[in-house]
Amino acid sequence: EESGGYMLTLKLFELSRTHSPYEQLLRAATAPMRELVDNIRESCHLSVLHRDQLLVLTQVDAPTAIRLSVEAGSLHSAVDTLSGQVLLANSPDAERDELLSRRAEYLRKSAEERGAFLAMLAKMRADGWGYAENARFVGGRDLSVPVGNARGRTRAVLTIASLRGTHTAYADLFELLPRLQKCAEDIGRIAGIA
Q: What pLDDT sits at residue 125? A: 95
pTM reported for the whole predicted model:
0.84
pLDDT tens, residue by residue, 97-139: 999 999 999 999 999 999 999 999 999 999 999 999 876 666 6
pLDDT tens, residue by residue, 144-173: 999 987 556 668 999 998 877 655 666 688
Q: What pLDDT sits at residue 83? A: 96
Q: Which residues contact 145 (CB under 8 A, 6 or more apart)?
A: 86, 128, 129, 130, 157, 158, 159, 177, 180, 181, 184
Q: Is 60 exceeded by the pLDDT of residue 19?
A: no
Q: Which residues contact 46 (CB under 8 A, 6 or more apart)?
A: 25, 26, 29, 33, 56, 57, 58, 59, 147, 156, 157, 158, 159, 187
Q: Is 90 exceeded by the pLDDT of residue 1?
A: no
Q: In what order do the strands lie in the sheet with 53-60?
A: 75-77, 53-60, 43-50, 156-163, 140-147, 130-133
